[in-house]
């Protein structure tokens, strides 16, 4: 499932994040530092070094916004979220086709996260740059994603994907991964559709007994499939 989550950050939060990133200077490092063998050969961008106070501060801001985002919670059913990272592409930089590493060590090195879902939160406005589309290939075909600043896209971490070369301006984004309580993308998508339908029935006042039963089905499926 490929899903757009609008307005994860408010205009005020975006301004703050953007100003801090634009002033980050030496904290920007070669993006290859966190790439695996496959990724390093096709990756060409800059990243804010992990475990810097700046990365932690801005990452926490995004995480607390996500904790209050019902669409994010329903779509990902998060068990763990990797601390958000930040990247910038400019002057022809790109990230060629790759699949994200399946398991990543959390900063600090003590815990691992399985990357079920990949997330990109756009921080630069599309009008600021040309190229830079996130292109995701899944079983339904190829999708080119370029969203307004503050919006986020979620896609299965199993997907082959790339970032097209930048031909003008700079593309600034945050990226991270989610380990879901429900590992399988198809099961997660089914639970998401069911949740959305129940919420719609609740809002439009459908038959109450049916709604109660459907809500029960949701939780019993989640109980069947979730690992915590
Ligand atoms: Ni990737």
CATH number, domain with residue 204: 4.10.860.20
Taking the centre of ligand 1 as the mean of its atom positions, its distance from the CA of residue 110, in whole angstroms, is 23
Tokens of residue 178, six digits: 């989610």
Residues 58 and 86: beta-carbon distance below 8 Å: yes
Please indicate, yes or no, whether residues 134 and 169 belong to a single structural domain of this protein. yes
Please indicate, yes or no, whether residues 127 and 220 belong to a single structural domain of this protein. no
Question: Predicted confidence band at 228 (pLDDT cuts at 50, 70, 90)?
Answer: confident
Taking the centre of ligand 1 as the mean of its atom positions, its distance from the CA of residue 157, in whole angstroms, is 8
Please indicate, yes or no, whether residues 175 and 146 belong to a single structural domain of this protein. yes
Please indicate, yes or no, whether residues 146 and 197 belong to a single structural domain of this protein. no
Residues 8 and 121: beta-carbon distance below 8 Å: yes
Taking the centre of ligand 1 as the mean of its atom positions, its distance from the CA of residue 72, in whole angstroms, is 19
Q: Tens digits of per-residue pLDDT, 97-123?
A: 999 999 999 888 789 999 999 999 999
Taking the centre of ligand 1 as the mean of its atom positions, its distance from the CA of residue 161, in whole angstroms, is 6
Please indicate, yes or no, whether residues 190 and 137 belong to a single structural domain of this protein. no
Please indicate, yes or no, whether residues 211 and 168 belong to a single structural domain of this protein. no
Please indicate, yes or no, whether residues 203 and 217 belong to a single structural domain of this protein. yes
Taking the centre of ligand 1 as the mean of its atom positions, its distance from the CA of residue 23, in whole angstroms, is 25
Q: Tens digits of per-residue pLDDT, 140-149?
A: 899 999 999 9
Q: Angle at CA 6, nearest 5°, toward 179 and 3?
A: 50
Taking the centre of ligand 1 as the mean of its atom positions, its distance from the CA of residue 65, in whole angstroms, is 22
- Region 190-195 average pLDDT: 98
- Region 20-42 average pLDDT: 87
Taking the centre of ligand 1 as the mean of its atom positions, its distance from the CA of residue 67, in whole angstroms, is 23
Give me the domain span that covers residue 137. Answer: 3-180
CATH number at residue 176: 2.60.120.620
pLDDT at 94 over 90: yes
pLDDT at 36 over 80: no
How many whole angstroms separate alpha carbon 96 and alpha carbon 93? 10
What residues contact residue 53 under an 8 Å CB cut-off, 6+ apart? none
Taking the centre of ligand 1 as the mean of its atom positions, its distance from the CA of residue 224, in whole angstroms, is 30
Please indicate, yes or no, whether residues 130 and 19 belong to a single structural domain of this protein. yes
pLDDT at 40 over 90: no
Give the ranges where the chain is alpha helix by DSSP (H). 11-22, 37-40, 53-67, 70-76, 185-204, 208-225
Question: Quick one: pLDDT at residue 107?
Answer: 81
Question: Predicted confidence band at 166 (pLDDT cuts at 50, 70, 90)?
Answer: very high
Please indicate, yes or no, whether residues 29 and 7 belong to a single structural domain of this protein. yes
pLDDT at 38 over 80: no
Taking the centre of ligand 1 as the mean of its atom positions, its distance from the CA of residue 166, in whole angstroms, is 16
How many structural domains does the chain have? 2
Question: Quick one: pLDDT at residue 145?
Answer: 98
Name the β-bridge partners of 95.
Answer: 43, 163
Residues 150 and 65: beta-carbon distance below 8 Å: no
Burial class from Cβ neighbours inside 10 Å (0-12, 13-18, 19+) for residue 58 reads buried
Query: Which has the closest alpha carbon to 114: 142, 81, 160, 161?
Result: 81
Please indicate, yes or no, whether residues 48 and 137 belong to a single structural domain of this protein. yes
Tokens of residue 129, six digits: 């740059």
Please indicate, yes or no, whether residues 173 and 190 belong to a single structural domain of this protein. no
Question: Quick one: pLDDT at residue 116?
Answer: 98
Taking the centre of ligand 1 as the mean of its atom positions, its distance from the CA of residue 82, in whole angstroms, is 14
pLDDT at 169 over 80: yes
Please indicate, yes or no, whether residues 113 and 172 belong to a single structural domain of this protein. yes
What residues contact residue 152 under an 8 Å CB cut-off, 6+ apart? 4, 5, 8, 72, 119, 120, 121, 122
Taking the centre of ligand 1 as the mean of its atom positions, its distance from the CA of residue 24, in whole angstroms, is 23
Name the β-bridge partners of 187.
Answer: none
Of 38-42, 107-111, 137-141, 165-169, highest mean pLDDT: 165-169
Tokens of residue 214, six digits: 């459907």
């Amino acid at each position: 499932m490929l899903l757009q989550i609008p307005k994860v950050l408010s205009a005020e939060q975006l301004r703050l994040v953007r100003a801090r990133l634009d002033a980050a200077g030496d904290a920007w490092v070669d993006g290859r530092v966190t790439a695996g063998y496959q990724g390093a050969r096709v990756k060409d961008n800059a990243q804010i070094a992990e475990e810097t106070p700046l990365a932690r501060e801005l990452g926490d801001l995004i995480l607390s916004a996500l904790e209050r985002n019902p669409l994010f919670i329903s779509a990902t059913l998060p068990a763990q979220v990797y601390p958000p990272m930040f990247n910038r592409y400019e002057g022809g930089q790109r990230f060629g086709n790759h699949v994200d590493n399946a398991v990543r060590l959390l900063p600090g090195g003590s815990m691992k996260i399985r990357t079920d879902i990949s997330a990109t939160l756009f921080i630069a406005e599309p009008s600021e740059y040309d190229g830079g589309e996130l292109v995701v290939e899944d079983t339904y075909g190829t999708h080119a994603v370029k969203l307004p600043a503050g919006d986020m896209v979620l896609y299965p971490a199993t997907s082959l994907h790339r970032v097209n070369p930048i031909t003008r301006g700079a593309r600034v984004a945050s990226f991270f991964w989610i380990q879901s309580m429900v590992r399988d993308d198809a099961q997660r998508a089914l639970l998401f559709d069911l949740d959305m339908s129940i919420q719609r029935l609740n809002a439009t006042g459908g038959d109450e007994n049916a709604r109660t039963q459907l809500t029960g089905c949701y939780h019993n499926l989640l109980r069947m499939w979730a690992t915590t």
